Chains A and B, each alone.
Chain A
Amino acid sequence: MNIVEWSLLAGVLTATAPVLLAALGGLICQVAGVFNIALEGQLLWGAFTAVVVSDLTGSAWAGVLGAITATLLFAGLLSVASVSLRADPIVVAVGLNLLALGLTAFLMRQIFGVGGTYSSPDLAGLPTLAELGLDLPVVGPQSPLVPVALALVAAAAWWLGRTRSGLRVRAVGQHREAAEAVGLRVGGYQHGATLVAGGLCGLAGAQLALGNVTLFSEGMSAGRGWIAVVAVMLSGVRPGRLLLACLLFGVAEAIGFRLQGVGLPQQAADAAPYVITLVALVLAAVAGRKRRGNEGEAL
C-alpha cells in the first residue's frame, strides 16, 4: 500500500512541474501588470524546440537551453506587440497560441517528416535524479528540472519580496502612472517580465517533452498553459500559493491517470484536471466575494 502512495506522489510531482514553471512565468507577468495568456503557446513551443535541439545534438541539456532561448524569442513577439506597441494583450496572445500550434505542427512535418507524434532513439531525454547520483526513493524517478522548479518558486518569492528589482516590478504592476512618476521605466520592467516568463515556459516545455516523456506530439501542452493561467489567478500573486494551486492540478492529473488503470474511462481522466481546476477557481472566487461582500453586487 505504501508503494502505491509513494508512486502517486511521484506522479503528482511529475504532473505539477511543467505547469508550475509556466505558472511562475505567468505570475511574474501578473506582478508586473502584464496579463499573459500566451503561456499555452509558449509551453508548446518550448516542448517542440527542446525536442528539436535534443534530437539534433543528442544532448538533453542542449535541448533545455535551446528551449529556453527559443521560447524567450517567441515571448519577444508578445513583448514587442503588447508592451512596445500597446496592442491588446489578450488578442495578441490568442494569435500567438494559434501560431505556436500551427508552427510546431508544420515544422515537425518539415523537420522530422512525421505528423502526430515524434519519438526516436536519437532523442535524448533528461536523466533522472537517481542517474545523477541523487537517490531519493520517496519522490520516484524525477528529472532534475523538478527540484529546479521548486527552487525557482522559492527564489521568485525572495526576489519579489526582498530585492530592489523585485520591489520595482511590483510597483510597476500596482500602479503604472505612479511608477512613471517616481521615474521607473515601466516598459523595461514589463518587457523583462514577459521575457522571463518566456524563458520559464521554455523550461516548462523542456520538462514536458524531455522530462515527463521523451517525445513530441502535436498540441502536447494540452491546456496546461491555461491551467497555469488559472493557477496564477488562484495564487493572489503569491508564489507559495501558486505552488499549492499547481499541486492541486498535479494531484488531479495523477489521480485521473491512476483511476484510468482501474477502469474509469479515459475521457474522465482527461476532464478531471479541468473540472478540479474550475471548481477550485469558483470556490476561491466565491470565498473572495464573501470577503468583499456585496460591494460589486450591482455591476
Chain B
Amino acid sequence: MSEFAAELVGVSKRFGPVLANDGIDLAVARGEVHAVVGENGAGKSTLMSILYGLHRPDAGHILRSGTQIRLRSPADAIRHGLGMVHQRFRLFPGLTVADNIVIGAEPVTGARLDRAAAHRSVTDLSDRYGLRVDPAALVGTLPVGVRQRVEILRALYRHAEVLILDEPTAVLTPGEADRLFEVLRTVAAGGVAILLVTHKLTEVLAAGDRVTVLRQGRVTGRFTTADTTADDLVHAMVGRSLPTPVPRRATPDAAPALDVRDLTVRDADGVTRLSSVSFSVRPGEIVGLAGVAGSGQRELIDTITGLRDGGDRVLLDGTPIHPGRDPRVAYVPEDRHARGTAPQMSLAENLLMGEQRTLATRSGLPRAAVRERARDLVARFSISAASVDVPISALSGGNAQKAVLARELSRGSRVIVAEEPTQGVDVAVRSRVHALLIEARDQGAAVLVQSSELAELRELADRVLVLFEGRLVAEFGGDATEAQLGQAMTGVSA
C-alpha cells in the first residue's frame, strides 16, 4: 500500500482558452495537513474539483492509496473515501443539522428514517472531534462558522479518509480559524489526509505540514513548513519576492466627496445590520473596507449606491444621494453574473447600461453610437473580445470584469465603489484592475474598495475601515498589518 492517501499525477484541465491545470502532481499522506496555495486563478479550485469528481481531467490520473481510480461524480469520490468542504457551503438550509450530515447514507428502519440513530451518530462524532452542533437545529438558522462544522461532520460521517477544505477560513474570524486548525490537527491525527486550499500564507505556516504552491496552473514550489519562510512562498506564488509597493499620495485636504453620517440600517426582521456608521471619503483617496462576511458591508454599499434607501444619511458632495441608482456613484458589484452583467446581451449592450439615455437621440437609440462607444471602451480598457456584438458570457471572467470596470469608470463619477474587484480573475487582470482604480483616484475620484482579501486592501488603500457586527470599529492607515486588521475584524479593539 502506498504511503499516500491520494495522489494526482500529471493532471491537466482546460476551460476554453484557459489552461487551468497544467500537468500537476500532488500527493497527500495519511495524517498530514497539506496546504495548497496560490493566488486567485492559480488553479487550486479546479484541481480540488477534479479530485472530488466535479470535473474530469483532460489528462493525468488519480491514485487512491496507490490504486488508480476514476471519478465521474462526487458520488464516486465519496465512495472512494474522499470528502470536501466547499467554499460555498453545500448545505440544505431547510433541513436539520442531523439530516444534513446523514443524507446520502441515512440510518433507516425499513423505508423509515431512523432519526434517533442519526442524532446519536452526530453527537458521537461532534464529541469526538470537539465540533459542537445541535443535531435538531435547522441549518438555515445557524451562523456561518457552525455551518462549516456541519460540512466537516458530514465528511467525517461518510468516513472520509481524504478531506479537502476549499478556502475554509474565508468566512471565519481569525479566532474561529484557529479553532478550525485545532480540529483539523485532531482529525489528521486520526489518520485522515487533509488538503487545505488557501491563499493566506500565515495559515499555511501555522497549520500545514507541507505546502504545494501553484501559479498559473503549474506547481511552482513544494515546501515543508518547518523550514520555509513566508518569503519563499510569496516568491513561488507570484514569481517575485514581494508585491511592488504602490506609490501613495498624502490624503488631500479637500472636502469629502462621499460623506456617510450616522447611518443605521435595520433588515426586514428588525435586526440592526448597521448602527451609527459615520465616515467620509475625500477626492483622491482610496478607502478600504474590511470585515468578516456579513458584518454589514452589503447594507452599507447598497445604501451608498442608492439601491437601498438611506434617507439623507449619505451625502455626495454635500447633497443627499438619489434613491434608485445615483449616476454620481460608479459601482463595481461583487457578483458579475447576477448583478454586473446580463450574460445573454451583447458586450456593447452591457457596456451601455446607465448611459442609454445620454446616447439617445430624438429618433431613439442609434446602434452605430452604441457600438462606437463600446469599441472605444474595449480599446481603452484593453478588453479582449471577438467583437462588441458577442454575448458578454462569451468573454473570459477577467475580460468580463474589465468590461464592468470600463462601464463604471468611464462615467467620470465622483465616487467609485468596488466590491471584491479582483475576485476570480488572474494575476494580470488583477494588477490591471488595481492600476485602473489607482488611476481613477489620481484623477480625483473618491474610491471605496471592499475586499475580503486583506492583502488587496493593504496594496490599494490609503486608509482601511473595519466593520464588525454593523459597527465601524477601527480605522487604520494603509500600512496596517494583517494581524492588526484581523484583530479588529473580530471585534478586539485595536
Contacts and interface: CB of A to CB of B under 8 A. Distances in A.
Q: How large is the interface on B (under 10, 10 to 19, 20 to 34, 35 or more residues)?
A: 20 to 34
A183 B90 contact: no
Nearest to B101: A182
Contact of A167 (B52, B79, B103, B269): B103
Task: Among A171, A182, A298, find the residue whose CB has the most chain B CB atoms closer than 10 A.
Answer: A182
Contact of B113 (A163, A180, A292, A295): A163
A87 B423 CA distance: 31
A163 B92 contact: no
A168 B103 contact: yes
Contacts of A292: 268
Nearest to A298: B307
Contacts of B307: 298
A164 interface: yes
B91 interface: yes
Interface stretch (B104-112, B379-387, B398-406): B104-112
Given A182-B74, A182-B103, A298-B308, A164 B113 contact: yes
Interface in A182-226: 182-185
A178 interface: yes
Contacts of B222: none
Interface residues of A, number: 24
B459 to A, nearest CB: 33
A295 B90 contact: no
Nearest to A161: B113
A178 B425 CA distance: 25
Contacts of B84: 181
A32 B91 CA distance: 16
Interface of A is mostly: helix
Contacts of A298: 302, 307-309
Task: Among B108, B113, B307, find the residue whose CB has the most chain A CB atoms closer than 10 A.
Answer: B113
Contacts of B103: 167-168, 171, 182, 184
Interface of B is mostly: loop
B268 A294 contact: yes
B78 to A, nearest CB: 5
B311 interface: no
Nearest to B91: A178
Contacts of B75: 183-185
A162 interface: yes
Interface string A255-299: 000000000000000000000000000000000000011110010
Contact of A178 (B92, B108, B113, B309): B92
B200 interface: no
A171 B267 contact: no
A76 B149 CA distance: 40
A57 interface: no
A184 B103 CA distance: 9
B91 A167 contact: no
B473 interface: no
Contact of B154 (A165, A182, A185): A182
B73 A163 contact: no
7 contacts: A163-B112, A178-B89, A178-B90, A179-B92, A182-B90, A183-B74, A184-B103
The 10 A-B pairs with the shortest beta carbon distances in the complex, nearest first, are A293-B268, A183-B75, A178-B90, A181-B90, A182-B104, A295-B268, A174-B92, A183-B78, A163-B111, A183-B104
Given A167-B99, A183-B78, 7 more contacts: A164-B112, A171-B92, A171-B99, A175-B93, A182-B104, A183-B79, A298-B302
